[in-house]
Each structure stands twice: as structure tokens, then as C-alpha cells.
């Protein structure tokens, strides 16, 4: 083997690794939404988890990619640790498909159809189709990447195979292989090479290329293949750095599964060999034999560990123990940015959690108006700080997602989430303001008049309902319920105006004080602002579902121009009766803000 052959080997390896990278990335982007839906259907059934892990890995052609995604899902709370273990086991099975594809390079036949099965025959055609799609059809860029990646991968495989064919004639090379008859050395070399290239599929491909020399025996290849299964765990371990404890446990499960499986498999094999004396260990191994060995090991390991999934979880928890202090919440995972659909789903889940926290903050702050409790006050502030962190991380994360190549629908969803997190954060801010109003009343030992207490109690009940509605609307994307929000928001505005007017009248009669008036104004302003943000949330959901673009504000324009549906007027009147503080039922929503006793202009038909 000359220095030029060595250069060809390095060039082939570079093409092989790059082709695998391009193909895997393109497959992941192309099937991103489907992968999300598939993994979203994962249940507590371990069998189904194994099947899904194998299927997803077959699609993306990388057990490392599947395991890294699983680490990300567990880190973000989308998947539990026990659910993730079968997926990891299935990923080890799915990754063997690459070895079977590469084994086609060893086909030796003059038959036309058999020759067509050789990658060297059809890879150039696949690459050509990929180039045509890349240059002529921009929307087919991912498909072109898959085809081009596959073509480059196969070209690299062929070049590696041709570069090492001369090694079989070298005495030094044959002597080197004798060293790996020692299974410990073979295990270490397989693990090291795989850890360097970070892909068991790639390292198995390299081994298959060397097998074409005919100098590699089953006895040498077997421990190397076992080591390759161990080395592939490095990618998941690296991806778990900085993740939460359960995510790091997923990486440890991957390591334990392959490490214990390889050791037990080799120990069992050599024990049987000492009694039976396998004759095939000294025979040359070819690409197909390597694929069979790779698949057999992963299938046997999965079947062997299947009854011990709980034991693997226990071992991972013992390795990475829970801290006495609460682990800081890892809000989002940048590992999923390359698959925007999954990153968006992760963001949506956290925005929904943010919505529930904002709702909780409002309910706790509202309770302080009836019975002040310093612990509840601190809880409201803590929730608000958590929501602030959510907004900061979600906002930055969604901006990063928007920098990726996305579909029109995904881009719309990112815009929707960006607007929603701002509204929920502001609701929590106003909840803190309400708790401060309650604290001021408590610290100064003052209280509203019975009439003012009854009026504010009515408005607070209306605001609690509108927050409940807006939260449910966002979480469920419920259009019918969203249409109930704006009529109630108009009633809240009306309540604020009438409470202020009644306060002025009480102030004139000497039944209230200016100091309480300032406190009342703060209370009413914050309640009304919360109602406004709920209106924004519901209106944006309606706009996205109807037009796909909230910037148009078509729904709100129809409402303010009096062109809303008859249902709007009916709902408005129902809410006005429900939250009535001696208001004239014939006053229209537009009266809000003018105060009691100010005549309403003629409203357009429909309101």
C-alpha cells in the first residue's frame, strides 16, 4: 500500500463521513414533522417504544441522532425516563440497516439485476437525480440532500474499499490483525474509532471496507463490532452535558445497555467457544457477515434486557443521584433546533405551562384581596420570576428557531408563540401589582366601602373568568371559546368605567377618601389590563386559525366596526347580566371608558 493509497483511503473516509452527515441531516429535516407525530404517539408500552426507536433510526440512519433527540425530549419533559429506555434500545436495532445497505458493495455477479443492486452501479444515478433536484427545484432541497448524501457516502465507501485492497498482501498488516485476536484490544479499538467519528454506522462501514481485503476474520471482527456499539455512546454522553438529570440518565442507559451487553455477549461467546470450538472464527469475514453480526448482537441484547428495563432505570438513577436541592428547570433544549417542528412543539408545551402559571399567579393574587397572607404574596412573586425566565428563554429560543429553514405553517406558529409569551408575562406582572394593592390595604389597615367591595368583587370574578377562558383557548386552540373572550372583555371595560363613576359619586357624598381612590384606581387598572391581554391572546388565536396572520387584526376590526356576528351581542348581554353592578343593560360596549350617565352614540348593526 503506497502513500497515494493512504491518501485515497483518507479521501474515501472523508466522503463517507460527509455523505452520511448530509444524508442524516436531510432525512431529519425532511421527516421532522412525521418524527414529531410518531414520537408523540409513544405510550407506556415498551414494545411500541422499541419499534418506534428502531423505525425512527431507520429513517434518520443514525442511532446517535435518535438518542440525542431522546435526550432532548427527556430534558424538556416531553418524554419520561422510563419511556426513553425502550426507544434507545430500538435505536440500536435500527442503526444496523446501514450495515446491510453497505454490504451490497460485496455483491459479485454477472447477472444484470444483481449488478443493479450494487451501490457502485446505482449510486451515480442517485447522485445525478439529487443534483437535478438541487439545481432545478428549490423546494426539493431536503430530498436532494438525501440523494446526494447517499451518493457521496457510497462513492466514499467504494474508494475506501479500493484503497485498502492491497493491504491483504502486506505481512505487517496481517500481523497487526493478529493483535486484535485478543478481544480486549479489539473492543478498545472499536470503541475508540467509533468515539472519534461519533457514528457506529460509519465505523462499521470502515470495518466493512477493510473486510474486502479478505484478511479480516470473524474472530478479529467480533470484538471490534462490540467495541463499536460502546463507542457510539459518546455522542449521547456529549449531548447530555448541561442537560438535566433525567436527560443525563438517558445517556447512561445507552452506555450501560451497550457496555453490559457487549461484555456479556463476548463472555458468553468465548465460553461456548471453549467448549464447542467454533470453526468459523478463523474464516474471513465479509461485509454481509459484519452486517449479520451487528444485527444479531443488537437483537439479542434488546431481547435480553427487555425484562430489565426497570433495572436499567434504577442503575442510571444510582449513577446520577437526585440532588437535595431542587434541580434548576431546564426550559428549552437547543439540540432540537435542527428539527424546527420538534423545537416548536417543545416551545408550545412550555408556553402552555407558562399560561397555567400566569393563571395561577392571578388566582393567588386575587385571593389576597379577601384574605392577606404573606406566604401567598411571596408565591405570586416567585411565579412571576419563573414566568420572566420562561419569557427570556422562550423568546431567545423562538428567535433561534426562526433563523432555521421552516415551512410557512411553522413560521406562523413561531410568531403566534412569540406574541403569546408577551401577553402571559404581562398578566403575571399585573398579578404582582394586584398582590401589592392587597398588601397596601393590609399594611395601612384600610378597606373599601361595602359598596366598593361588592363592585370590585364582581369585576374580579369577571377577570378570573376571562383569564380561565384565555388560558383554555390558547392551550386547546378552541375558536368557539375564543369568541367568548372579547364580549367579556367589553363588559370588564364597562365595569371599570362604572366603578370609577360610582367612586366619584361616593367621594362627592363623603363616603370614600382620596387615598382609597388611588388604591381603587390601581386595582381597576390592573384588572382591566389583564383583561386586555386575554383579549389579545384570544384574538390572535382566532386570526391565526382564520387568516394565518394576526397582524391583519381583521377580527378586532370587525368587532369595533360593529360587524361582529350576532353571537357577539348575545354573549355580551349574557355577561352584562351576569356581572351587573346596577348598569343599564341597554348601554353598549362602546360606553366603556366614558363613565356612567354619558349617552352612547348609535352603534352599527350587530352590536
Distant-in-sequence, close-in-space partners of 387: CB < 8 Å, separation ≥ 6: 354, 357, 358, 361, 424, 425, 428
Tell me if 560 is assigned to some domain: yes
Residue 174's pLDDT is 53
* Residue 419 placed within a domain: yes
| pLDDT one-digit tens code per residue, 213-238 | 777 788 888 888 888 888 878 777 77
Cα(127)–Cα(146) distance, integer angstroms: 9
Examine the domain organization and report whether 369 and 284 are in the same domain: no
Higher pLDDT, residue 66 or 333: 66
- Does residue 33 sit in the same domain as residue 168? yes
The alpha carbons of the chain give a radius of gyration, in whole angstroms, of 33
Clarify whether residues 375 and 424 are in a common domain: yes
Q: Has residue 134 been placed in a domain? A: yes
pLDDT confidence of 357, banded at 50, 70, 90? very high
Domain harbouring 432, CATH code? 1.20.58.220
Could you identify the residue written with the cell 408577551? 422
Per-residue pLDDT at 430 exceeds 90: yes
pTM tops 0.75: no
Residue 460: what pLDDT?
93
Clarify whether residues 476 and 600 are in a common domain: yes
Grid cell at residue 359? 393563571
Mean pLDDT taken over the chain:
77
Cβ atoms 254, 57 nearer than 8 A: no
419 shares its domain with 542: no
| Among candidate residues 234, 230, 235, 228, the one with its CA nearest the CA of residue 290 | 228
Q: What is the largest CA-CA distance in the chain?
A: 111
Q: Are 116 and 282 in contact (CB under 8 A)?
A: no
375 found inside a domain: yes
Say what the pLDDT of residue 297 is: 86
Q: Are residues 166 and 264 in the same domain?
A: yes
Lowest mean pLDDT segment, chosen from 13-17, 121-125, 177-181: 177-181
What domain range includes position 402? Answer: 337-436
276 to each of 143, 212, 269, how far by Cα in Å?
A: 50, 28, 10
Q: Is 279 inside a domain boundary?
A: yes
| pLDDT tens column, 431-457 | 999 999 999 999 989 888 888 888 999
Task: Report the alpha-carbon distance of residue 135 to residue 124 in Å, rounded.
Answer: 17
Model confidence at 76, pLDDT cuts 50, 70, 90, reads low
Domain boundary among 290, 319, 348: 319
Residue 225: predicted pLDDT: 85
Q: Which three cell numbers stand for residue 583?
A: 348598569
Residues 342 and 419 in one domain: yes
Q: Is residue 205 part of a domain?
A: yes
Percent of the chain with pLDDT strictly greater than 90:
15
- Specify the number of domains making up the chain: 3
pLDDT digits (tens, 9 = 90+) for 177-207: 556 667 888 888 888 877 776 667 777 777 7
Q: Residues near 558 by Cβ (< 8 Å), separated by ≥ 6?
A: 564
422 grid coordinates: 408577551
d(CA 410, CA 416): 10
Residue 552 pLDDT > 60 = no
Percent of the chain with pLDDT over 70: 73
Q: Which of 255, 284, 319 is where one domain is finished?
A: 319
Within a domain: 399: yes
Helix (H, G, I), strand (E, B) or coil at 2: coil
Q: How confident is the model at residue 355 (pLDDT cuts 50, 70, 90)?
A: very high
Contacts of 409 by beta carbon, 8 Å cutoff, 6+ apart = none
89 Cβ contact partners less than 8 Å away, ≥ 6 residues apart = 49, 50, 53, 257, 301, 302, 305, 306
Give dist(CA 299, CA 167) in Å, integer: 33
Could you give the angle at the alpha carbon of 473 between the alpha carbons of 472 and 477, nearest 5°?
120
Helix (H, G, I), strand (E, B) or coil at 284: strand
Domain match, 310 and 378 both: no
Q: Examine residue 331 and state whether it is found in any structural domain, yes or no.
A: no
Indicate whether 511 and 540 sit together in one domain.
yes
Q: Which residues lie below 8 Å from residue 221, measured CB to CB, with a gap of 6+?
A: 186, 207, 211, 285, 289, 290, 293
376 and 305, same structural domain? no
pLDDT digit string, tens, across residues 509-549:
777 778 888 899 999 999 999 999 999 999 888 888 776 55
Give the residue from 194, 202, 197, 250 showing the smallest Cα distance to 226: 194
Report the DSSP beta bridge partners of residue 217: 284
- 308 and 382 housed in the same domain: no
- Same domain for 51 and 105, yes or no, is yes
Amino acid at each position: 500500500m503506497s502513500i497515494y493509497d493512504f491518501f485515497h483511503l483518507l479521501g474515501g473516509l472523508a466522503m463517507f463521513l460527509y455523505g452520511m452527515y448530509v444524508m442524516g441531516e436531510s432525512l431529519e429535516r425532511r421527516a421532522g414533522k412525521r418524527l414529531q407525530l410518531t414520537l408523540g404517539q409513544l405510550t407506556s408500552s415498551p414494545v411500541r417504544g422499541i419499534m418506534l426507536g428502531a423505525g425512527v433510526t431507520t429513517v434518520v440512519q443514525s442511532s446517535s441522532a435518535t438518542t440525542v433527540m431522546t435526550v432532548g425530549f427527556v430534558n424538556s419533559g416531553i418524554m419520561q425516563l422510563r419511556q426513553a429506555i425502550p426507544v434507545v434500545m430500538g435505536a440500536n436495532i435500527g442503526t444496523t440497516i446501514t450495515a446491510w445497505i453497505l454490504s451490497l458493495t460485496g455483491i459479485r455477479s454477472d447477472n444484470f439485476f444483481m449488478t443493479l443492486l450494487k451501490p457502485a452501479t446505482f449510486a451515480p444515478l442517485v447522485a445525478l437525480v439529487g443534483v437535478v433536484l438541487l439545481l432545478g427545484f428549490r423546494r426539493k432541497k431536503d430530498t436532494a440532500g438525501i440523494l446526494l448524501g447517499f451518493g457521496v457516502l457510497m462513492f466514499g465507501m467504494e474508494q475506501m474499499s479500493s484503497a485498502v485492497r492491497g493491504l491483504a498482501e502486506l505481512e505487517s498488516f496481517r500481523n497487526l490483525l493478529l493483535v486484535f485476536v485478543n478481544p480486549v484490544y479489539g473492543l478498545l479499538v472499536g470503541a475508540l474509532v467509533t468515539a472519534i467519528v461519533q457514528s457506529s454506522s460509519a465505523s462499521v462501514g470502515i470495518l466493512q471496507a477493510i473486510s474486502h481485503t479478505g484478511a479480516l476474520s470473524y474472530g478479529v471482527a467480533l470484538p471490534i463490532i462490540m467495541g463499536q456499539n460502546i463507542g457510539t455512546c459518546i455522542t449521547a454522553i456529549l449531548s447530555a452535558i448541561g442537560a438535566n438529570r433525567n436527560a443525563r440518565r438517558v445517556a447512561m442507559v445507552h452506555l450501560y445497555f451497550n457496555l453490559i451487553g457487549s461484555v456479556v455477549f463476548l463472555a458468553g461467546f468465548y465460553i461456548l467457544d471453549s467448549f464447542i470450538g467454533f470453526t468459523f472464527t478463523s474464516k474471513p469475514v465479509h461485509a454481509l457477515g459484519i452486517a449479520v453480526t451487528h444485527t444479531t448482537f443488537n437483537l439479542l441484547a434488546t431481547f435480553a434486557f427487555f425484562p430489565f428495563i426497570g433495572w436499567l432505570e434504577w442503575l442510571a438513577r444510582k449513577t446520577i443521584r437526585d440532588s437535595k436541592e431542587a434541580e434548576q428547570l431546564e426550559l428549552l433544549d437547543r439540540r432540537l433546533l435542527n428539527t424546527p417542528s420538534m423545537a416548536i412543539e417543545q416551545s408550545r408545551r412550555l408556553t402552555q405551562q407558562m399560561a397555567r402559571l400566569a393563571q395561577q399567579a392571578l388566582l393567588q393574587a386575587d385571593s389576597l384581596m379577601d384574605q392577606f397572607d404573606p406566604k401567598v404574596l411571596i408565591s405570586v412573586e416567585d411565579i412571576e420570576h419563573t414566568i420572566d425566565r420562561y419569557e427570556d428563554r422562550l423568546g431567545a429560543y423562538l428567535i433561534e428557531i426562526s433563523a432555521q429553514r421552516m415551512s410557512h405553517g411553522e413560521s406562523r406558529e413561531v410568531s403566534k408563540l412569540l406574541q403569546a409569551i408577551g401577553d402571559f408575562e404581562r398578566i403575571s406582572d399585573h398579578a404582582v401589582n394586584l398582590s401589592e394593592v392587597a398588601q397596601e390595604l393590609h399594611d395601612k389597615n384600610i378597606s373599601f366601602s361595602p359598596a366598593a367591595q361588592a363592585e370590585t368583587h364582581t369585576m374580579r370574578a369577571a377577570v378570573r373568568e376571562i383569564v380561565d377562558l384565555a388560558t383554555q383557548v390558547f392551550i386547546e386552540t378552541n375558536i368557539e371559546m375564543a369568541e367568548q373572550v372579547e364580549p367579556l372583555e367589553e363588559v370588564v371595560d364597562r365595569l371599570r368605567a362604572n366603578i370609577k363613576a360610582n367612586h366619584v359619586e361616593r367621594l362627592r357624598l363623603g363616603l370614600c377618601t382620596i387615598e382609597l381612590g388611588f388604591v381603587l384606581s390601581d386595582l381597576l387598572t390592573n384588572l382591566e389590563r389583564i383583561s386586555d391581554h386575554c383579549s389579545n391572546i384570544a384574538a390572535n388565536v382566532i386570526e391565526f386559525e382564520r387568516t394565518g396572520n394576526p397582524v391583519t387584526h381583521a377580527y378586532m376590526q370587525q368587532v369595533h366596526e360593529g360587524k361582529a356576528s350576532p353571537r357577539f351581542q348575545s354573549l355580551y348581554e349574557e355577561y352584562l347580566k351576569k356581572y351587573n353592578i346596577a348598569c343599564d343593560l341597554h348601554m353598549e360596549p362602546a360606553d366603556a371608558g366614558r363613565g356612567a350617565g354619558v349617552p352612547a352614540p348609535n352603534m352599527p348593526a350587530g352590536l
